Amino acid sequence: MSAPEPVTAVIVAAGSGSRMGDGVPKQYRMLGGKAVLAHAVDSLSAHPRVTKVRVVIAADHEELARQAIGERDVNLVTGGAERHDSVRSGLAGLADGTVLIHDAARPFCPLRVIDDLLYALDDVAGAVPVLAVADTLARGDRQLDDMVDRARMLRVQTPQAFHVEDLLYAFEEVGRRAATDESSVLVAAGLKVATVPGDPALDKLTSAADWPRAEAMLAAALIPRTAMGYDVHAFAGPGPIMMGGIEIAHERGLAGHSDADVVLHALTDALLGTIAEGDIGLHFPPSDPQWKGASSDRFLAHAAALVRSRGGLIDHLDCTVICEAPRLTPYREAMRRRISEIAELPLDQISLKATTSERLGFTGRGEGIAAQAVASVRLPQ
């Protein structure tokens, strides 16, 4: 029995995505802490038969693409003015085998769909996922002109699977005739294209209205995690002190290897706990001189980035400061705003409280300040 053909995934990401309206092409926008393009790459590369991934980008998007993809093993290819040109660029150097052509604006692809496509490809030149049209169809503009029979009407999605030689042949036969996807090129060239059941997860992100749907779909696939963090620093030397990322006037400072920010340290440990990544000392050892006097905003930003790199969503950060002095109420909102900036979260997802220990223990005696934090996140299963 012969080995199955190698499968190359070509992800078309050369569009401007202008209908999203925020100036950033939709394939590079963040969705659940990860760029849409990165979601698409991960969805296809997760299939065991996909041996290579090529991403076709616009000529001026290389920096955006590299930031979105990170360390993933992906070959970036410069596309052209039209989809036809971009796909041909993605096929360059491929003479045989199987290719999956996919839109970068479709971030989620169930592995079942790829299985079905590759199986269907045994007997035809191409295979595509489809969904039946459920809505009433009509022609018209500001009023209905005539109704269209929706029987046998299909919504064609991507990824689309082809034998490379058949797709190249179809491009040569059809030439530069306008086509919205590669299956229409094969049909125009007289080749057979099979259909397999599509999936709502494959629906394309086209406008801003599609974004809440994608976020809800992503959230439904995540599991919640909660972790705690704790930090304490003793008073030593003259003030001021750093707390919650801002400077607070006080007659005494806090002792610590870095800037001794108990709030940011506790929040950092809480976030690291949600992904079982140890504690702050593991990532920023006090024995390392480079962290001497370091600003703790780097620590919290690092922990938040680690959560997002796992595809996680940070839902909420909560911190309680325990001290007799200084009085934190005047600084509370400034600290919340600074934490919001560092963690890249909306302000309403940051909670900060202060209490005393009724003059009991080391905080009650005014020997130091403690902080307890709780982080709530959602992570892929």
**Which pLDDT belongs to residue 3?**
61
pLDDT of 130 above 70:
yes
Helix axes 83-91, 164-174, angle to 10 degrees: 140
The values of phi and psi at residue 270, to 5°, are -65, -45
* CB-CB contact of 338 with 246 (8 Å): yes
DSSP secondary structure letters along 177-226: ---SSHHHHHHHTT--EEEEE--GGG----SGGGHHHHHHHHHHTEEEEE
Contact 165, 97 (CB under 8 A): no
Mean pLDDT of the chain: 89
Contact call for residues 8 and 161 (beta carbons, < 8 A): no
pLDDT tens, 177-197? 767 899 999 999 999 999 999
**Backbone phi and psi for residue 292, each to the nearest 5 degrees, phi listed first:** -65, 115
pLDDT at 9: 96
What backbone torsions phi and psi does residue 233 show, to the nearest 5 degrees? Answer: -140, 140
Q: Rounded to 5 degrees, what are φ and ψ at 277?
A: -110, 35
Type of residue at 199: D
Q: Which ranges constitute the DSSP H helices of the chain? A: 36-45, 62-69, 83-91, 111-120, 164-174, 182-188, 211-220, 262-274, 280-283, 297-309, 332-343, 361-364
| One-letter identity of residue 270 | A
Range with the poorest average pLDDT among 90-94, 216-220, 242-246, 354-358: 216-220
Compute how many other C-beta atoms are within 10 angstroms of the C-beta atom of residue 165: 13
222, 368 in Cβ contact below 8 A? no
For 168, residues 6+ apart whose C-beta sits below 8 A from its C-beta are: 91
Q: What is the mean pLDDT of residues 127-135?
A: 92
Measured CA distances, 247 to 179, 216, 269, 296, 302 (Å): 60, 39, 21, 12, 21
Q: How high is the pLDDT of residue 284? A: 86
Question: Which pLDDT value is given to residue 1?
Answer: 44
Amino acid at residue number 324? E
| Two tokens, residue 144 | 């209905």
In order of their start, the domains of the chain are: 7-220 (3.90.550.10), 223-380 (3.30.1330.50)
Length of the chain: 381
pLDDT digit string, tens, across residues 319-369: 999 988 888 899 999 999 999 999 989 999 999 999 988 888 888 787 888
**Interacting residues of 335 by C-beta distance below 8 A, sequence separation 6+:** 243, 244, 245, 246, 263, 328, 352
Q: Which value, in Å, is the radius of gyration of the alpha carbons in the chain?
A: 27
Percent of the chain residues topping a pLDDT of 90: 55
* pLDDT per residue as tens digits for the range 54-113: 999 999 999 999 989 888 999 999 988 888 889 999 999 887 899 999 999 999 999 999
Give Cα separations from 182 to 96, 153, 157 (angstroms): 17, 18, 11
Q: What is the pLDDT of residues 278-318, one digit of tens each?
A: 998 888 888 888 888 788 899 999 999 999 888 788 999 99
- Nearest Cα neighbor of 224 from 20, 376, 104, 41 is 376
